[in-house]
Structure formats: C-alpha cells, structure tokens
Amino acid sequence: MRVAFYAPLKPPDHAVPSGDRLMANLLMRAMQLAGHEVEIVSRFRSFTRRATDHALFAEAEAEQHRISVGWAARTQDRLPDLWFTYHPYYKAPDLIGPELARARGIPYVTAEASYAGKRDLDDWAKLQARVKSAISEAQINFCLTPVDREGLSRFVAPERLCDLPPFIDATGLQAAETDNGGKVRLVSVAMMRPGVKVESYRLLAQVLGMLCEANWTLTVIGDGSERQMVQSMFSGHFADRVTFTGELDRTGLAQQLACHDIFVWPGIGEAYGLAYLEAQACGLPVAAVDNRGVPSVVVDGTTGLLSSLGDAAGLANNLDRLIGDGRLRARLGSAARAFVHNERSIDVAAGILDQGLKRAVDMIGKTELLA
C-alpha cells in the first residue's frame, strides 16, 4: 500500500532529537520493511501550549487545502491508499487527516493515540474533542502500551484496537562486554528537559548518594536546556565517578552501551522509553521505577528490577543488588537481550503493522459494501 504518514507533534525529520521522533521513524521503516510505500504527507505541527490557539485551525485548514490540491494533480497510482497518524493527543491533535481520508475514501489509522478523560472537562475540551473524534473514526488504532489501550477502550470497539508493543531496530547494538573486574559501570540515557526528565535526574542523584560505599561509576548520555542544572545535581562527593558525554549519535550510543554493565534511569512519567530497549538489546539489566509505560519495556524480575514510584530507597536497594551481584546481572542481561531481539524487534513490529493495515482496509471495504 501507499501510506500517507503524519506526525502532528513532530515530523520524523525534525531537527530536534527525541523518543517521539525516533518512534515515528521506526514506524515508517517497519511499514517499509513489510513492503509498503510510506510518504511523509505533511510536516504541519499542530502542537500547541495554548488551549485556545485559534490560529491553529486556520493553519490546519490551509494545510489540508495544500494537500488536496497536490493530490488532485497526481495520477491515480500515486495517490495514498491509507492515512497513518502517529501520536495524536490533546496538545497535538490531527486536524487534517480524518477529513482528507474521508474525502479519499481510504482507511484512517492511528498509532500511540492518547486520550485522557479529564481533558473533556477543562480548557482543552475543544482540542480533546477533535482527538476523540479522529480516534473514533479510525479503522485501526495501534496501542503501544496498556495505558493507551485502557484510555481508548472507553469509547472504541475492541476490533478497532491493535496492540503494538514498543520496539526498536537493534541493528548495530552489540552485546556488552563482560565484567572487567573493576568498578561496575552504570549508564543513563535521557534528554535534559524541564519536568519529569529533571525529576528523574534528581531521583537518580539522590539514589546514588545512598550508594557511595558501592563500587560504581556512571556515564550520563544526553543534553538539553537543563544540562547545567542536571550536572549540578551530581556535583557532590561522588562527582568524580560521573561522566557526562552530551548527546551522541547512534554509533556513539551503541559503543557506550556496549561497555557498561547496568542501565539505570528512574523513568518518572515515561510513556515507555526506547532507551530501555536499546540498553537491553546490548544485554544490560535495568533499574527503574514501575510507572506509566516503563513496565511495557522492562519485565520486572526478568530483564530488570522495578521499584515503586516515590520509593527512592527501593530503587537504591535494587541498584545495589545489581551492582553487588554479577550473576544476577548476567541472568537479567541475557534475558533482556533475548527479550528485545525475539519480541521487540522491528521485524516483529513489521508483521503486526502489516496485519493491522490489512484489517483497516478490510474494515473500510465492508463499510462501503454496507453503504
């Protein structure tokens, strides 16, 4: 099929790296791997921080018109067979896809659509209503986590939901070196942004302060507007054990992961976190917090150890166990690598996406017959 791909929050080729941008690219590549032709149909960002952003609708209407005119100039064999929207939610609704899909008579599909009922009752209600309408119209909604599925299942029939667990392309992610007999090497990967990212860095610094007697070093990979603040959190009596690399490209990241022993990142508020999968693909066990989407990418007791949200002592205890027990690290690390390569690979995702897209076509075909 020819797939019109749209990410209202951030286009796949946006200049600023993020997990959202990475997943958008992974979805495109997985569909291509399944034999579909994928085109970024629009780079219009509907993301807004203002619930009453009146200009947004006019801009969306202009973009919709631009696409319609472009399609009108194409031959039939260059028109899309399906519209695919990634990560619509109340701050980044899809204001163009549903109407264009209806006009073309093609299936409308979403992935990682998010619905929070509380937004029906606050200033975001108008944009939330557009999100809910689009999700309701979609022939298939791919759900990346149980949290997403639970939100959508309140108003979407089960046959229109398809589970697509978070996945990565593990190409180039080599198995980590075995323990070298020296200090246990911890690594974290995260952007340095305000909000929950800074909260996670603060918790990580607090936890490491509880483990000063343990035998560890930490490498922090990432950058962002709050880098100075983050670095100051680790400037205490264990500062000489912590190294900041800044942002790394994929090759640099793979090299770093392959020479560490444990991936530690609290993950407060994480939708899921692809860095967890990348680390596990290299055979690193994980220490993190059991909240939001983290359990969707880390299997507690099998590929890592998860502590309760708000339990700094519990996270410190889990990390201390991993630091002090090489056999535990090896067992969890081996299971982590198998988990990613066998269950969360881009090949597995390609198969799920392919089946879901075919279901979407079948569903709209049945609707046309009934009409």
Distance CA 89, CA 145 (A): 15
Side-by-side strand order, sheet with 216-221: 242-246, 216-221, 184-189, 262-264, 286-290, 304-308
DSSP 208: H
pLDDT at 370 over 50: no
Domain that includes residue 197, residue range: 184-343
Non-local (6+) Cβ contacts of 214 within 8 A are 184, 320, 323, 324
pTM given for the model = 0.93
In this structure, the answer to whether residues 194 and 337 fall within a common structural domain is yes
Distance CA 216, CA 316 (A): 13
HEC-encoded secondary structure of 288-337 = EEECCCHHHCCCECCCEEEEECCCHHHHHHHHHHHHHCHHHHHHHHHHHH
CATH number at residue 61: 3.40.50.2000
Q: How many CB atoms lie within 10 A of CB 232?
A: 12
In this structure, the answer to whether residues 268 and 153 fall within a common structural domain is no
Contact call for residues 197 and 191 (beta carbons, < 8 A): yes
CA angle 296, 302, 303 (to 5 degrees): 65
How confident is the model at residue 340, as a pLDDT? 98
In this structure, the answer to whether residues 363 and 307 fall within a common structural domain is no
Q: Determine if residue 292 is left, alpha or beta; phi over 0 gives left, psi from -120 to 50 gives alpha, anything else beta.
A: left
> Distances from the Cα of 164 to the Cαs of 106, 146, 148, in angstroms?
22, 10, 11
Exposed e or buried b per residue across 283-322, where buried means at least 16 C-beta atoms within 10 angstroms of its C-beta: bbbbbbbbbbbbbbbbbeeebbbbbebeebebbbbbbbeb
pLDDT in tens, 38-88: 999 999 999 999 988 889 999 999 999 999 999 999 999 999 999 999 999
Distance CA 326, CA 336 (A): 15
213 in any annotated domain:
yes
Total tally of structural domains belonging to the chain: 2
In this structure, the answer to whether residues 354 and 339 fall within a common structural domain is no
175 in any annotated domain:
no
59 in any annotated domain:
yes
pLDDT in tens, 249-296: 999 999 999 999 999 999 999 999 999 999 999 999 999 999 999 999
179 in any annotated domain:
no
What is the distance, to the nearest Å, from the Cα of residue 110 to the centroid of all Cα atoms in its chain?
14
pLDDT in tens, 91-141: 999 999 999 999 999 999 999 999 988 888 889 999 999 999 999 999 999
